[in-house]
Every structure is written in structure tokens, then in C-alpha cells.
């Protein structure tokens, strides 16, 4: 059983716990202490092949789809119930692996993951075709035509470390609802949460062979992407890595969905509720220590309220508490790793050299002699040409940028290779809706931030990705459409 106390863990293949084919393991580090907390099996290409063969056998034997649709729906609902039932254990595991404050895990990540399985449970009966009119000049009229929806096959699911439960849920729930066996490859920083999810799926009644969890590093991920018998890849991670996934998957013309990086603008107009906007902007950038793809890392503020808004933001940022996620009073936990810690601190130094005004944070908290902690950092007077305004930092660092009117706000907001999310703060709903039309992003919030629902599609424009997670759009990405045409005439149509 996977728990907070787990020190060693194996792969989950065909419903069984197994050592890796090589016998190799890798270490899981607690980012709050920098200490090794577990050793986990390291999957390789041989393990991927075993999972694929079991998945193919399960798929061809129809073990999952032969169940009544409502029964499959009940199993997905049961996964959601078990996630809620095991919420405290899951929160402790996540905090141990990626440092997320436990109260954040309990309030946001775990309920959203459970809701995701509930939503896709309701869509199990959704994959259905439609009758279509048959029309062909010169052909006899008596034909019937219809479409059928069929699962695409094995789905390779590759997920990041920042949300170790939500990200697998966003992919696994629609894959199972569509009827696809899944091979889940979680990030090496957070394998235990994914293995716990596999345990809950088995308990809920998911047939052996419908879910495999292959923990490890790049070797397993690359083998999944290039395997010819895995026709669907769903990947969440950095844009640079997504580009490599797309290139590798092209060799076998795989269907690929990518949820990638962002540099999301949070636009504050002069008529906004400044107090509310400042509080929400704080959550928009510092939630999960800024390690959120849709984080509002660029706050665009109308010049008439620029100083007052920035002052409020800085005052609130300085009150946030940084420390181990296991302590409930802490608002920000550590960032994920030593490498990420050093990268973020380097970005902060770059911002100062570029001439941005550092108003809060920018350093390791006093007394943080171990672990990977960084204070909430606010830069003001940032120019859009600066590195900190253009590159995804993926940490608790925000750039506050002034603008003079709607057109300039749109120009700055869209001046990026990304297009994942954005927000607009205004009391003028017409202005908000006009901005929704003009800002290029997959999600746009009006007078809120970071609010998502499993019923609503999520994904990005431009280099923020391809396809959508959640919503019925996610289900479609795991389905093929087949057209069937039947000739009802006594004599077949022929030209010979």
C-alpha cells in the first residue's frame, strides 16, 4: 500500500506491483528538506513493452468495454469517492513529494481531481455516433449512413510534478471514459501520488490491464512516445519538451495533445475593485509557489492606479508565510528542486540587472537553511522586452507592467509566444467581453483567477499547446470517428 510512510515502491503493470526490468531505482527528494524520502522503481523500454502488450491484450479482449456503460460510470464515480475518502493521505504524499501546502492540496487539488472522475463518469454513455443524410448524385436513394465513436487504443499519459494528482486525473478520466487502456508516466519528482491513484483505481474496480503506472525518468517517457502501438499521447510540461514529443510522435502519425507553458497576463483596469483584484492576483501568481502553467506572472495595471495597486500587492505579498507545506499556517511551500531553486534565483538576479524595481522578496527566507524556499517576489516597472516578462520562470516571481489604454493592454498581453490563460478586471462587463474577444488565450477570466472546472475545456493558443483537457473536448481526443454506409437497394450500385 502506498502511503506517507512508503520508502520503496514498484511499478504498477497489469494490476500488479513489479520491480523494473533492470532492477534500477531512483530517489524521491523532499523539497522542504532536500533529503531522500523514498526509492522508486525506474522503468525502461522493456517495462514499456510489457505494459503495451498487456494493454493491447486487454483492449482486444474488450475487458472494459464489454461492461455495461453504466457500470463503467459507477467505477469512475468510485474512483472519485476513494480520492475524497483518502484525501488526507493523498495530501501528505503530495506535500512530501512536491512541497505543496497540505491545506492547498485539500482545498483545491484533491477535490478537483475527484470532480474530474465524476464528470467523465457521466460521459461514459456519451461516445455515440449519429445518423447522417446520404446524398450522392447519380446514386440510388436507398442508402443509410451513420457514424460510430470508438476508442483510439492505448493512451500514453505523461504528466508533470506541479500537480501530481490533478494532471493524471485530467488525462486518465477521459481515457477510461473513452475505453482506452492507459500507460501513465508521472514526473520522477512525484511518482508516489500516481502510484496511490493506481491503487485507488484498482480498488474501485478498473480491470487489470486498463491502467499501468511506469515511474522513472526520460527513458520511459521517450519509449512511450515513440512506441508504434501507442496511438495517442497526452503530455503536460514545458514547451521545449512538448516540441520534442511532437517531433518524436510524428514518426508514427500519433494523435497528440499538449498542455504546455504560459506567461499569462492579469489585466487590471482603472475601474476594477482594486482590493479584490490584488487579493486574487496574489493567488494567481503565488499559488503552489508560482509553479502553475497558467500563473498570472504578468500583472498589467492601468497607469492611473499603478502605484496604489502595486503598493497593495506588495503589502499583501510580504504578509505571506513561506515554509514546509506540512505546517498549515504556511501559504507557500518550497519549489520542487535544487535545480529549479537556482534557476528562479538567477531569473531574479536577471530582473534586477535589467532595471526592474524589486519591491518584495527576491531571496531565500531567513532561517531556511535547508529545502528550496524562495520569498514571494514582486518586480515593478517591468518592460515587456525584459527577460522576466517574456520567459516562463515557474516560480513565485511576478512582473507588474503599466499600460495606458485598452489597445496597449491587448498589445502587451498578446506579445508572447504563449496563450494559455489571461484575466481582465473591470466593472464594465462590455469592456470585459471585448477584451475576451481580443486577448489570445485558451482561458480568459473576468474578475477572477485560477478558477477551473472539469466541465470546461482547458488548453492554450500558440506555443501553449494543442488540444484541450477537460470538458467533452477531452473525451473526443481519445476517440476515433468511423463512418458506416449501407446500401439498402436490391441491386448494388456499380459502374461496371
**Distance from CA of residue 89 to its chain's centroid?**
21
The three cell numbers of residue 120 are 467523465
Which segments of 95-214 are extended strands (E)?
Answer: 131-132, 143-151, 155-158, 182-185, 211-213
- List the catalytic residues: 259
Contact indicator for 224, 48 with CB cutoff of 8 Å: yes
Integer Cα distance of 184 and 213 in angstroms: 5
Q: Give φ, ψ of 320 to 5 degrees.
A: -70, 140
Taking Cα atoms as reference points, which of 410, 431, 439, 414 lies closest to residue 272?
431
Give the closest residue to 99 by CA, choosing from 316, 310, 332.
Answer: 332
User: Kind of pairing, strands 397-403 and 298-302?
Assistant: parallel
Strand partners, 461: none
406, three cell numbers: 485598452
Question: Residue 460, by phi and psi: left (phi above 0), alpha (psi -120 to 50) or beta?
Answer: beta
Report strand pairing: 421-425 vs 443-446.
parallel
Residue of 384, 296, 283, 397 whose CA lies nearest to 340: 397
C-beta of residue 481 within 8 angstroms of C-beta of residue 282: no
CB 39 within 8 A of CB 225: no
Residue 442 CB coordination number (10 Å): 22
Query: What is Dmax (Cα atoms) for the chain?
Result: 88
Residue 436 parent element (H or E): helix 429-438
Phi, psi of 241 (to 5 degrees): -70, -40
Angle between helices 69-85 and 110-121 (to 10 degrees): 170
CA-nearest of 127, 159, 155, 129 to 144 is 129
Distance CA(379)–CA(170), nearest Å, equals: 33
Q: Which residue has the cell 483584484?
A: 277
3 state DSSP class of 213:
strand
Concatenated DSSP letters of 259-325: E-----EEEE-TTS-HHHHHHHHHHHHHGGGG--TT---EEEEETTTHHHHHHHHHHHHHH--BS-T
Amino acid at each position: 500500500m502506498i502511503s506517507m510512510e512508503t520508502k520503496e515502491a514498484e511499478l504498477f503493470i497489469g494490476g500488479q506491483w513489479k520491480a523494473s526490468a533492470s532492477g534500477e531505482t531512483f530517489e524521491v527528494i523532499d523539497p522542504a528538506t532536500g533529503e531522500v524520502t523514498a526509492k522508486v522503481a525506474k522503468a525502461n523500454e522493456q517495462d514499456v513493452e510489457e505494459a503495451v502488450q498487456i494493454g493491447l491484450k486487454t483492449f482486444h479482449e474488450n475487458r472494459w468495454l464489454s461492461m455495461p456503460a453504466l457500470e463503467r460510470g459507477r467505477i469512475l464515480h468510485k474512483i472519485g469517492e476513494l480520492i475524497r475518502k483518502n484525501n488526507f493521505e493523498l495530501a501528505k504524499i503530495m506535500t512530501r513529494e512536491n512541497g505543496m501546502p497540505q491545506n492547498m492540496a485539500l482545498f483545491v487539488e484533491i477535490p478537483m481531481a475527484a470532480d474530474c472522475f465524476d464528470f467523465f463518469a457521466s460521459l461514459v454513455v456519451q461516445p455515440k455516433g449519429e445518423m447522417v443524410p446520404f446524398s450522392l448524385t447519380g446514386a440510388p436513394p436507398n442508402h443509410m449512413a451513420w457514424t460510430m465513436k470508438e476508442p483510439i487504443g492505448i493512451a500514453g499519459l505523461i504528466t508533470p510534478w506541479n500537480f501530481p494528482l490533478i494532471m493524471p486525473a485530467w488525462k486518465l478520466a477521459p481515457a477510461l471514459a473513452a475505453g482506452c487502456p492507459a500507460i501513465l508516466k508521472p514526473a520522477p519528482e512525484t511518482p508516489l501520488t500516481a502510484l496511490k491513484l493506481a491503487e485507488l483505481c484498482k480498488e474501485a474496480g478498473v480491470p487489470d490491464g486498463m491502467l499501468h503506472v511506469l515511474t522513472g525518468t526520460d527513458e520511459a517517457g521517450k519509449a512511450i512516445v515513440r512506441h508504434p502501438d501507442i496511438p495517442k499521447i497526452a503530455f503536460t510540461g514545458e514547451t521545449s519538451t512538448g516540441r520534442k514529443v511532437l517531433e518524436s510522435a510524428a514518426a508514427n502519425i500519433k494523435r497528440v495533445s499538449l498542455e504546455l507553458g504560459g506567461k499569462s497576463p492579469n489585466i487590471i483596469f482603472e475601474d476594477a475593485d482594486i482590493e479584490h483584484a490584488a487579493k486574487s492576483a496574489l493567488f494567481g501568481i503565488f499559488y503552489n509557489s508560482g509553479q502553475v502553467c497558467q500563473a498570472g506572472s504578468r500583472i498589467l495595471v492601468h497607469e492611473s492606479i499603478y502605484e496604489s495597486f502595486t503598493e497593495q500587492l506588495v503589502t499583501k505579498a510580504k504578509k505571506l508565510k513561506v515554509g514546509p507545506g506540512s505546517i498549515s499556517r504556511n501559504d507557500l511551500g518550497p519549489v520542487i528542486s535544487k535545480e529549479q531553486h537556482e534557476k528562479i534565483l538567477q531569473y531574479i538576479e536577471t530582473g534586477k540587472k535589467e532595471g526592474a524595481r524589486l519591491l518584495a522578496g527576491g531571496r531565500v527566507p531567513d532561517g531556511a537553511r535547508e529545502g528550496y524556499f524562495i520569498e514571494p517576489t514582486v518586480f515593478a516597472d517591468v518592460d515587456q522586452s525584459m527577460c522576466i516578462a517574456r520567459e516562463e520562470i515557474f516560480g513565485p516571481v511576478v512582473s507588474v507592467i503599466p499600460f495606458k489604454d485598452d489597445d496597449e493592454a491587448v498589445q502587451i498581453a498578446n506579445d508572447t509566444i504563449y496563450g494559455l490563460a489571461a484575466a481582465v478586471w473591470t466593472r464594465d462587463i462590455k469592456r470585459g467581453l471585448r477584451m475576451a474577444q481580443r486577448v489570445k488565450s485558451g482561458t480568459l477570466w473576468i474578475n477572477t483567477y485560477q478558477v477551473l472546472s472539469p466541465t470546461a475545456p482547458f488548453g492554450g493558443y500558440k506555443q501553449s499547446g494543442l488540444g484541450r483537457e477537460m470538458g467533452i473536448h477531452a473525451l473526443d481526443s481519445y476517440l476515433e470517428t468511423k463512418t458506416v454506409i449501407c446500401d439498402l437497394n436490391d441491386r448494388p450500385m456499380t459502374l461496371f
